[in-house]
């Protein structure tokens, strides 16, 4: 009887875990995923892509759609340039972040701002494929026929105040990131979909320079 | 006998103090106006997106601000960063009540929430229903005043009420904030600005409408 109860509980847990993400089931062989993800990310020198960002305001039934271009270059350089419906530029270059909106330019040192440092690390980890090694999060891996879904749950107290989960959808074909979904405590979320990806394209360092 | 410099100083200080205490609007003339004329400046927000920038006590924030009228006629104002992170989510209900649904820890201060609440109340113009309003004028402008529990909201138009020049929230002696709403298109201002009169630093907010 106990065995039956235990088996049923295991099946139920598996069903609940799988039901969290429609079309995905919980991955059983995590070490295989980690190994292949890590191996692919080691070969990934750069990423150039377009992106569409969708901010969902759940209670307002509203979506704010913005578009831009994304560049990543090893080890630690990211450029996100929004061009529609507003202009905004963010460059992360090692420990520095440069922000430019319509009226002002500013520089932030991530070493002096812990939250920025963590968000910087999440972004870079997500695209570089090292998110699983980030100790600020616990993770679960799900998979569908075409993709893996990495569900990151914050452990660090200050991140817990902002995010419920961060879900990263990884393409099984080349282990590149297709989508990042940041779910806030309020239930609002921001999805960034990456399209027209060019892996290992030549990207000059100059576009990451912070003046 | 010559008065001492100290006496001069005392006299000047007293004069400045009395000047400061006298009403900012005491030179204006009382007038009767059609209060309904302000209704045409009340923004008809349905769901409007603004590019927003705020300079708050030495810190610069930028992002997107959405103002949406909900089916129950309440108004939600949500400010988020360009990258999607929510700074605040406010609700102004039809019965005059106010709720903070979400606010980032850095902004979660009574004084900041109170200031933002009053700023948005000023531009939402829901207080036009207040029957205790009265008007003043000078040679160029009409000032229509709507007394609140603390302070007064002033809507300043040209003499013929064809243009909303600016809005003010003020006590008897001091203007706390000045706001403008300009370039109305289909009842919605294209540009909104707030400038606060704070001695220690600046506290300015600028909104520019974004077409979606």
Concatenated DSSP letters of A80-96: EEEEESS-EEEEEETTE
When mean pLDDT is compared across A2-6, A39-43, A125-129, B178-182, the lowest value belongs to: A2-6
Question: Is pLDDT above 70 for B20?
Answer: no
Question: Is pLDDT above 80 for A23?
Answer: yes
Q: Which position has the token pair 């009382």?
A: B30
A137/A155 Cα distance (integer angstroms): 5
B64/B209 Cα distance (integer angstroms): 10
B51/B82 Cα distance (integer angstroms): 9
CB atoms within 10 A of CB B106: 12
Question: Is pLDDT above 80 for B35?
Answer: no
What is the token pair recorded at A122? 């999440």
Determine which helix (DSSP H) or strand (DSSP E) holds A14, and give its type and residue range: helix A2-19
Please enumerate, as own/partner, the contacts of A152-156 that have beta carbons within 8 Å and a separation of 24 or more.
A152/A122, A156/A118
A82 → closest Cβ in B80, B82, B208: B82
Which alpha helices (DSSP H) does A74-186 contain, by range? 114-128, 157-160
Question: Is pLDDT above 50 for A16?
Answer: no
pLDDT at B21: 38
Task: Find the radius of gyration of the CA atoms of chain B.
Answer: 20
A59/A190 Cα distance (integer angstroms): 14
DSSP-derived 3-state class of residue A136:
coil
Closest CA to B61 of A99, A55, A208: A99
Distance from CA of B210 to the nearest CA of A (A): 7
Distance from CA of A190 to the nearest CA of B (A): 6
The per-residue pLDDT for range B39-73, each reduced to its tens digit, is: 999 999 999 999 999 887 677 888 999 999 999 99
B84 → closest Cβ in A60, A103, A182: A182
CB-based burial, A173-194: b 16+ in 10 Å, e otherwise: eebbbbbbbbbbebebbbbbbb
What is the token pair recorded at B49? 């997106």
C-alpha count within 13 angstroms, C-beta hemisphere, residue B74 = 16
pLDDT band with cut points at 50, 70 and 90 for residue A10? very low
More confident residue, B84 or B7: B84
A57/B180 Cα distance (integer angstroms): 27
Please tell me the total number of residues recorded for chain B in this structure: 212
Q: Does A28 touch chain B (CB under 8 A)?
A: no
What is the token pair recorded at B142? 């009409």
What is the token pair recorded at B51? 């590019």
Chain B residues 98-127 with a CB less than 8 Å from chain A: 101-102, 104-105
Question: Which residues on A lie below 8 Å from B206 (Cβ)?
Answer: 103
pLDDT at A56: 95
pTM above 0.95, yes or no: no
B188/B42 Cα distance (integer angstroms): 8
A136/A142 Cα distance (integer angstroms): 20
Q: Are strands B141-147 and B134-137 parallel, antiparallel or unpaired?
A: antiparallel
pLDDT band with cut points at 50, 70 and 90 for residue A14? very low
Answer for the pair A109, A123: CB distance below 8 angstroms, yes or no. no
A186 → closest Cβ in B47, B76, B102: B102
Q: Which position has the token pair 């271009």?
A: A69
Which alpha helices (DSSP H) does A20-87 contain, by range? 30-43
Cα-Cα-Cα-Cα dihedral sign, residues A81, A85, A87, A91: negative
Q: Does A188 touch chain B (CB under 8 A)?
A: yes
- With an 8 Å Cβ cutoff, are B84 and A90 in contact? no
CB-based burial, A107-116: b 16+ in 10 Å, e otherwise: ebebeeeeeb
The per-residue pLDDT for range B113-155, each reduced to its tens digit, is: 999 999 999 999 988 877 788 999 999 999 999 999 889 999 9
The per-residue pLDDT for range B153-193, each reduced to its tens digit, is: 999 999 999 999 999 999 888 899 999 999 999 999 999 99
The per-residue pLDDT for range A139-166, each reduced to its tens digit, is: 999 999 999 999 999 998 888 888 899 9
Q: Does B66 touch chain A (CB under 8 A)?
A: yes
- Cβ-based burial of B6 (10 A; exposed 0-12, middle 13-18, buried ≥19): exposed
Q: Can you list the positions of beta strands (E) in B32-174?
A: 47-56, 59-69, 75-80, 86-92, 98-103, 134-137, 141-147, 152-158, 164-170
Phi-psi category of A57—alpha, beta or left, where left has phi over 0 and alpha has psi -120 to 50? beta
B82 → closest Cβ in A59, A86, A182: A86
When mean pLDDT is compared across A117-126, A191-200, B75-84, the lowest value belongs to: A117-126
ipTM above 0.90?
A: no
pLDDT at A159: 82
pLDDT at A75: 82
For residue A205, which phi and psi values (nearest 5 degrees)?
-60, -25
Q: Does B95 touch chain A (CB under 8 A)?
A: no
């Amino acid at each position: 009887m106990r065995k039956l109860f235990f088996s049923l509980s295991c099946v139920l847990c598996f069903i609940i875990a799988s039901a969290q993400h429609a079309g995905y089931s919980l991955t059983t062989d995590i070490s295989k995923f980690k190994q292949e993800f890590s191996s692919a990310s080691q070969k990934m020198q750069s990423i150039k892509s377009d992106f569409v960002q969708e901010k969902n305001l759940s209670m307002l039934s509203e979506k704010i759609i913005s578009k831009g271009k994304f560049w990543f270059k090893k080890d630690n350089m990211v450029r996100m340039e929004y061009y529609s419906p507003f202009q905004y530029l963010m460059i992360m270059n090692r420990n520095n972040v440069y922000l430019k909106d319509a009226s002002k330019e500013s520089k932030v040192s991530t070493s002096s701002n812990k939250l920025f440092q963590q968000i910087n690390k999440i972004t870079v980890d997500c695209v570089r494929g090292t998110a699983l090694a980030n100790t600020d999060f616990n993770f679960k891996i799900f998979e569908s026929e075409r993709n893996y879904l990495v569900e990151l749950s914050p452990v660090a107290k200050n991140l817990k105040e902002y995010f419920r989960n961060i879900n990263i959808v990884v393409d099984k074909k080349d282990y590149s990131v297709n989508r990042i979904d940041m779910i806030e405590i309020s239930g609002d979320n921001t999805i960034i979909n990456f399209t027209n990806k060019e892996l290992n394209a030549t990207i000059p360092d100059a576009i990451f320079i912070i003046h | 006998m010559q008065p001492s410099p100290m006496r001069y100083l005392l006299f000047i200080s007293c004069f400045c103090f009395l000047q400061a205490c006298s009403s900012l609007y005491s030179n204006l003339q009382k007038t009767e106006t059609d209060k309904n004329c302000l209704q045409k400046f009340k923004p008809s927000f349905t769901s409007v997106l603004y590019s927003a920038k705020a300079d708050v006590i030495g810190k610069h924030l930028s992002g997107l601000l959405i103002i949406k009228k909900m089916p129950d006629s309440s108004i939600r104002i949500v400010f988020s960063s360009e990258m999607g992170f929510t700074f605040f989510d406010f609700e102004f209900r039809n019965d005059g009540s106010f709720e903070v649904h979400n606010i980032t820890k850095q902004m979660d201060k009574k004084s900041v929430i109170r200031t933002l609440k009053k700023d948005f109340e000023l531009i939402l113009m829901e207080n036009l229903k207040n029957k205790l309003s009265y008007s003043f004028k000078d040679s160029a402008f009409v000032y229509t005043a709507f007394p609140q529990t603390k302070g007064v909201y002033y809507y300043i138009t040209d003499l013929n009420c064809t243009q909303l020049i600016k809005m003010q929230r003020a006590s008897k002696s001091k203007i706390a904030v000045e706001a403008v709403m300009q370039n109305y298109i289909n009842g919605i201002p294209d540009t909104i600005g707030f400038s606060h009169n704070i001695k220690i630093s600046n506290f300015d907010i600028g909104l520019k409408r974004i077409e979606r």
